[in-house]
Amino acid sequence: MDSYTLKSVLDLPAHFRSVFKFRYFNSLQSECFLVCFHSDANMVISTPTGSGKTVLFELCILRLLSKFISEDGRFIHIKGTLKTIYIAPSKALVQEKLRDWNEKFGSWGINCLELTGDNEFYNIKNIQDARHVSGIFMWMEGVPPHLFNVLLVDYG
């Protein structure tokens, strides 16, 4: 990709643009935009803290959601069938992302949950059987990734 060509948030469908508070994706995000938003390819991103990996994860979430958005922008799916997982090195980071993602995705009925080792209510069986959960963002390790549609492991 030309180093001067940045993808615009306007390159997203109108109903997804409000997820981002900026006008242009940075160079890393622009280079990965097509893979994240227009394909189902697996990828590994290894870049320094603050380089924009979480935005790439959000683009992958939007890719998943785009399969269940009607032309009038309504989110239509069977509850409990779409799950993503976010694993981070600290509970504080998870709580920050939880607040942010509940704000970004809540209007579509996406429920973001924090699952940690000190929360005994949730376990693998609860996750598998979930019918009321649209999205799961976790900190707890040891949960099989095959239970989820999108996986991000953020270790800084």
Q: What is the mean pLDDT of residues 41-62?
A: 89
pLDDT at 130 over 50: no
CA nearest 115: which of 100, 131, 97, 107?
97
Cα–Cα distances (Å) from 60 to 91, 117, 120, 121, 153, in that order, read 23, 26, 29, 28, 13
H/E segment holding residue 151: strand 150-153
Beta strands in 34-143 (DSSP E): 84-87
pLDDT of residue 81 exceeding 80: no
Query: What is the pLDDT confidence band of residue 3, given thresholds at 50, 70 and 90?
Result: low
pLDDT in tens, 82-121: 777 777 777 788 788 888 988 888 887 777 777 665 655 5
pLDDT digits (tens, 9 = 90+) for 14-43: 889 999 999 999 999 999 999 999 998 888
Pairwise pLDDT comparison (40 vs 150), residue with the higher score? 40
